[in-house]
Amino acid sequence: MKLFKLIFIIGLFPLLALAQTDSTTLTKVGDKLPDFSFELEKSKTVKISDYKGKLVLINFFATWCGPCNAELPLVQKQIWEKYQANSKFAFFVFGREEGWEILDPFKQKKGFTFPMIPDLNRQIFKKFATQSIPRNVIADEDGNIIYQSIGFSEKEFAKMVHFIDERMKKISR
């Protein structure tokens, strides 16, 4: 089992290193999650720190972004539907420069059931990066960034799902 964990960690290192060397990324693995508040639902504001104690997946996207539109249906099926009822997991999708009037109809049309949240002026996005979506950030139960990715590929997505699955096994014990 220890050998498997070591191989898993070594296998993820190149991927994690890629996210660390991108000049558009402002955060890095090991950093504390930046502090921010957001409107979870219309008229209901929360802080990201309210989710301490959970594995937190943050996704940045836009409705017009092709790679984002390829990724989100997979997120719905392979991550959200598996973990939405798990009290140790939280997932937030931030629509970069898009408000409720765009996100709500988009979410309904696509059949997504996960939280889709406006980030109208990039107030949240700019804490993590200067450009490039889709972008995923995972924070551990202590609020430390433990994973980041930029863009979408099926191979990269499979690695992220595996990373989440392994982490959820660990914290759900």
To the nearest whole number, what is the mean pLDDT of the chain? 90
Tens of pLDDT, residues 11-31: 444 444 444 458 889 899 999
Alpha carbon distance 45, 38 (integer Å): 5
The number of helix segments (H) and strand segments (E) in the chain equals 5, 7
Q: What is the pLDDT of residues 28-46, one digit of tens each?
A: 999 999 999 999 988 899 9
Q: Domains, the chain, ranges and CATH?
A: 2-171 (3.40.30.10)
3-state secondary structure of 49: helix
Taking residues 90-117, report their average pLDDT.
97
